[in-house]
A and B are shown apart, each in its own frame.
Chain A
Amino acid sequence: MTFFRYIARRVLFTIPILLGITLVSFLIANAVPADPINVNLPQSQLNNPEIVAAFRAEWGLDKTPVEQYLTYLGNLAQGNLGRSIKTRQPVAEDIARFLPATIELATNATALGIILGVGLGVASAVWRNQWIDFAARTLAVIGVSVPVFVLALIFLSVFHAQLGIAAGPGRLDFTMDEPAMLTGLFTIDSLAAGRLDIFANAVAHLVLPSLVLALYVAGLISRVTRSSMLEVLGMDYMRTARAKGVRESLVVMRHGLSNALIPILTVIGLSYGNLLAGAVLTESIFAWPGIGRYMFRASTSQDFPAIMGVSLLIALIYVVVNLVVDLLYYFVDPRIRAN
C-alpha cells in the first residue's frame, strides 16, 4: 500500500510544479521587450489601428497581464491550451501533431544510447585502463563534446549523400505517403496498417538522427556507468561473490551492474526528458517535424499560447520521466523499498 501512497503523493506534488511553470513561462514570455503585434502583423496592417486593435482583442493582448494569466489558467483548467497565433490551430492539436515524431526519435535514440552507453561503460570499468577503456572514453568525450548539428550534417553528407547507405532527411522518403494516423508513430502505424514498405522506410529514416542523438546520450551514460561500476566493483561483496565461485559474467552483471544502476537510471531519465523536450537542431537538420521545431518557431514569433503550451508539456514530460525513474529506483534498490 505504501507504494501507491508514494505514487499518489508524487502526482499531487506535480500540480504546484505545473502551476509554477505556467507562471514562470508567462512572466518570461511577457518580459521580452517586443510586441507580438510587430512579429505577427505585416507592416501595412500595423499602420491600421483598427486591425491592430482587433488583433489585440482576439488574442487577449488588450487585457492586463494579471487578467491574461487568470484567463489562461481558467482555460487550462478546462483542458484548453488556447490557439496558436502562428498556425491558428488549437495548441493541443498542434502538439498532438508534432509530438509523436519527437517521441519516436527520442525513444529510439535513447534505446540506442542505453545499449551503447551501458555496454561501453561496463566494458571500460571491467577492463579499466586497457585499450577498450581508452577507446570507450574517447568515444564518450566525442559524443558529448561534438555539437550535434556538426555531427548531424557530417552524418547526412557522408552516410546519406556520398555513401548512399543511409536514408536522408524527413521521417519517410518525400514521395512516400504517411500511414493512416493512429498513434502518430510511423513505425507502429505502418505495421498496424500492414504496410511493411512504410515500416521499413520509417525505420531507415530513423537510423541517422537516432544515431546522432544516441552518441550524445551514450557519451553521458557510459561515463556515469563507468564511474558507478568502478565504485561497486571495489566493494567487499564483489570479492565475496567471486570467492564463492560465482561466474565472472554473473558477478559483473548481477552483483555489479544492478547495484550501480541508480545513477545510470538518473542520467537516462534526464537525457530522455531532454530529447523529448525537443532536439531543435537535430530536428531542423533532419527535416524532422517534431516539437523542438514547433517550439523554435513559436518562440521566434512570440506565439504566447504555443510557448506556454509547449513549456507546460515539457515540464510535464520531465515530471513524468522523473516519476518513472523514481519508481524504477524503488524496484532496483531494495533499500528504498524497505523505507
Chain B
Amino acid sequence: MKSGRLLLLIMIITVLVTGVVAAQDETVLVIGHAESTDSLDPARGYTQTKDIIDHVTYENLVTFPQADASEILPMLATDWTISEDGLTYTFNLRGDAVFSDGSPVTADDVAFSVNRLKYVQGSPSFLAADIASVTADDADTVSFTLTQINPAFLANLANTAFGVVNADVVRENGGSDAEDAATADTAEAYLNGTSAGSGPYLLESWEPQVETVLVRNPNFYGDAPYFDRIIITNIPEAATQKVALESGEIDLALDLTSDQIAPLEGNPAISIYRGPGNIVHFLLMNEDPDIGGPVSDPLVQRAIRLALDYEGYQALWGGVQPGSITFVGNAYAFTPEQGVKRNLDEARALLAQAGYADGFDITLEYPIFTFQGVNMETNAQKIQADLAEVGINVTLSPAELQVALENYRTGAEGFGYWFWGPDILDAIDMLAFLPGGKVADERALWTPDRADAALNDLVARARVATDPAEREEVFTALQASMQENSPFAPFIQPDVQTAFRSDIEGYVWHPQWLLDVALLSRSM
C-alpha cells in the first residue's frame, strides 16, 4: 500500500514536470491585474481593464503615439479631411485591413460600430453623443457629421469605445445599430466571449473576476506581436501581485503602489518602469482680492511661479516639470524646457513692484492625501520652503480630503494646492483652467469678466479651432499667456511606476490604454 502511494506520487510529479515543459513551447505572458470591468464589448465597457484588452483586440480609425497623446495618428484610416465649418469629418480607410475571420474592414463596419456605440446607451456612449450621422460613402470612405464643433473629436475616436467591430459577425450574434439598440442589441454576451475586431490579438476567453486569455490573431495584417498568448489573471490584492511577481508567477504587476515597488528595487529579477504620468500638481491663487488677498495680484502670481524650485520636486518624485497646466505628452503641450525657470531675483523684484518688498503672510490649503505615491504634505512643506526664500511666509493648513474639496470646489480657497488628471486627452482639456472653464471660473474665480479681451478671444478660438496649424498657434499662445498671467502655478508631473520581470521588454505606460501588450516581448 505504501509503495503504491509512492508510485502515485512519482507519477504525479512526472506528469507535473512534463506538463510544465510542454507549456513552455509557446510564448506566454502572464499579467497580474485587479480586474475592474463589467464588459469587454467596445460599446459597453468603460474601464481600464477593458481599455487594455480592447486596445489590442480592436482597431480604431485613428490612434495616439505609443507613449503619449501628443498627436493623432492614422490607424484604420490613412488620412482624413475636416470641412470648413468643422462639422464634417471624412476618413479614407487603408483598404488592406482584415478582421480576425479574414474578412476586410470596410466603411460599413465603421458606420455600424459607431451607430451601435451611439445607440446601445452603454457607459461610453456619451463619447458619440455629438455625432449626428455617420455614413459609408463607399467601401473605403466614411464620413461623420457632428451636431456641434468638437475639436477633441479625433481624440475621442482614439478611445477603445470606437473600436471597429466586424458588422456581419456582430449582427449574426444579435448586434444592432438601430435607434432602439439599447434594447434590440444582444451581442454583448458574444463580445464578452470572443472579440470581433482587427487587432493583433483575439479574445480567447474571459472568465469574469478570474482571468482573461488573449491569443494571437492569425489573420492580423500587420506585424505579429511577440507573445502567442497573454493571460491577464485577476489578483485583486496588490500585495498578492507583489508576491506573485517576486516568485515569477506573473510577468507584470499592474496595480502595485509606489511603496510596494520601492522594496523591489535592487531585486535583479525585477525591472521597474518609471515615466511621467498625466497628473499635474499645481498651486491655485484666487483672483478675488477678498479671498486671495495678496495672491490675487497677477504680479504676485507670477513671482510665485518664478520662486518654485522645479528641479527639487523632480528630485522627490521623478517625473518632469510640466511646461504648462496641461501634462507633457498632451497635444500641443509645452515641453519641460518651455516651462517657467526659477528666478528668485526676478520674483523678488515683482513682489517689490506689487508692494510686497518685505513679503507677506499667507495660508496654503491642501488635502491630507497621497495620490499615486505622491504625498501632498511633503510638497506643501517644500512649497513653504521655496516661497520663504522670496519672503513669502506660508502657513500650512492641511484638511481632510472631503473638507478641502468643498472649499476648493466652491471657490472659497485663497491659496490652494491640488492636482489635475485630464478628462479629455486633448489640448482642449486645458480650457478648464482658462476663463469660462470649470477650474478657472468656479475655483479660482478667474471668470471671463476678470480676464482681458484678448485672452477671451483666444479661448473662444480654442473652443472651435479644428485645423492643426491654427490649434497649435492658439494653444501655444494660451500657454505662453498663462506663464505670464494666470492664477495657477503647475510645478510637477510625477512619474508613474510599474514593476515587471527583468526579461520583459518594451513596456510603455500610456495615458489612454495604460498598456499595449502587443509591444511586449521576452528577452532570451
Contact of A284 with B12 at beta-carbon distance under 8 Å, contacts A168-B247, A174-B30, A297-B209 already known: no
Decide if A45 touches B38 in the complex (CB within 8 Å).
no
Contacts of A89 in B (CB 8 A): 208
Residues on B with beta carbons closer than 8 Å to the beta carbon of A284: 236-237, 240
Partner pick for A164 among B234, B240, B247, CB 8 A cutoff: B247
Quick check: is B239 within 8 A (CB to CB) of the other chain? yes
Interface contact A175-B16, CB-CB below 8 Å:
no
Q: Tell me how far the C-beta of B181 lies from the nearest C-beta in chain A, rounded to whole angstroms.
A: 13
Instruction: Find chain A residues with CB under 8 A from B244 CB.
Output: 168-169, 287
Interface residues of A in 259-290 (CB under 8 A from B): 284-287, 289
- Is A200's beta carbon under 8 Å from chain B? yes
Q: From A51, A176, A196, A199, give the contact of B121 (CB < 8 A).
A: A51
Cβ of A294 within 8 Å of any chain B Cβ, yes or no, is yes
A162 to chain B, nearest CB (A): 8
- With A164-B247, A197-B16 as given contacts, are A169 and B235 in contact (CB-CB < 8 Å)? yes
A170 proximity list for chain B (CB < 8 A): 233, 235, 249
Q: A175 with B231: in contact, given A161-B247, A169-B240 (CB under 8 Å)?
A: yes
- For the complex, is B15 an interface residue (Cβ under 8 Å from A)? yes
**With A44-B126, A87-B208, A196-B11 as contacts: A293 and B236 at CB distance below 8 Å:** yes
A168 partner, pick from B12, B208, B243, beta carbons under 8 A = B243
Interface 0/1 of B1-44, CB less than 8 Å to A = 00000000001110110110001000010100000001100000
A293 to B235, CA, bound (A): 11
The contact string, 1 if C-beta is below 8 Å from chain A, for chain B 400-423, is 000000000000000000000000
In the complex, what distance in Å separates the CA atom of A297 from the CA atom of B244?
23
The smallest C-beta distance from A57 to any residue of chain B, in angstroms, reads 11
A54-B121, A86-B38, A174-B231 in contact; A196/B15 too (CB < 8 A)? yes
> Interface with B: A133-141, A152-160, A308-316, which one?
A152-160
- Which residues of chain B are near A326, meaning CB under 8 Å? none
* Residue B246 at the chain A interface, CB threshold 8 Å: yes
Which A residues touch B12, using CB under 8 A? 196-197, 199-200
Interface string of B233-265 (1 = CB under 8 A from A): 111110110011011011000000000000000
Bound CA–CA A41/B18 (angstroms): 48
CA gap between A156 and B235 in the complex, in Å? 13
A173 interface residue per 8 A CB criterion? yes
Residues in B whose Cβ lies below 8 Å from that of A289: 207, 209-210, 234
Residues of A within 8 A of B243 (CB): 153, 156-157, 160-161, 168-169
Give residues of chain B (202-231) contacting chain A, Cβ–Cβ below 8 Å.
207-211, 231
Query: Is B182 in contact with chain A by the CB < 8 A criterion?
Result: yes
A68 at the interface (CB under 8 A from B): no
Decide yes or no whether B513 CB sits under 8 A from chain A.
no
A42 within 8 A of B: yes
A33 smallest CB distance to B (angstroms): 16
Q: Which residues on B sit within 8 Å (CB–CB) of A297?
A: 209
Question: B491 interface residue, CB < 8 Å from A?
Answer: no
CB of A199 to closest CB in B, whole Å: 7
Q: Does A88 reach chain B (CB closer than 8 Å)?
A: yes
Q: A86 to B236, alpha carbons, bound, how many Å?
A: 16
A161 to B240, CA, bound (A): 10
Q: A residues within 8 A CB of B240?
A: 153, 156, 169, 284-287
Is A201 an interface position by the 8 A CB rule? yes
Interface of chain B residues 46 through 71 with chain A (CB within 8 A): 46
Closest to A89 in B: B208
- Contact indicator B182/A197 (Cβ below 8 Å): no
Q: With contacts A88-B38, A196-B12, A197-B19 known, is A54 near B209, CB below 8 A?
A: no
CA distance A121 to B347 in the complex (A): 76
**Known contacts A160-B243, A285-B239, A294-B209, A45 near B234 by CB under 8 Å:** no
C-alpha spacing A123/B171, complex, angstroms: 69
User: A41 — which chain B residues lie within 8 A by C-beta?
Assistant: 123
CA distance A44 to B250 in the complex (A): 36
A159 and B46 CA atoms in complex are apart in Å by 38
B156 to chain A, nearest CB (A): 12
Q: Mark A154-190, 1 if CB is under 8 A from B, else 0.
A: 0011001100100011100111100000000000000
The residue in chain B whose Cβ has the minimal distance to the Cβ of A88 is B38
- Whole-angstrom CA separation of A197 from B6 in the bound complex: 16
* In the A-B complex, the 7 residue pairs with the closest CB atoms: A44-B126, A197-B19, A197-B15, A200-B12, A287-B235, A161-B247, A161-B246
Starting from the known contacts A44-B123, A45-B125, A169-B244, 17 additional A-B residue pairs (CB-CB under 8 Å) come to A42-B123, A51-B121, A86-B38, A87-B38, A89-B208, A156-B240, A157-B243, A157-B246, A168-B243, A174-B233, A174-B250, A175-B30, A175-B231, A176-B19, A197-B18, A200-B12, A287-B233
Interface CB pairs A-B, < 8 A, 15: A45-B125, A45-B126, A86-B38, A88-B39, A153-B243, A161-B243, A164-B247, A168-B244, A168-B247, A170-B233, A174-B211, A197-B12, A284-B237, A287-B244, A294-B209
Binding site for A on B (CB under 8 A): 11-13, 15-16, 18-19, 23, 28, 30, 38-39, 46, 121, 123, 125-126, 182, 188, 207-211, 231, 233-237, 239-240, 243-244, 246-247, 249-250
**A residues at B contact (CB < 8 Å):** 41-42, 44-45, 48, 51, 54, 86-89, 98, 153, 156-157, 160-161, 164, 168-170, 173-176, 196-197, 199-201, 284-287, 289, 293-294, 297
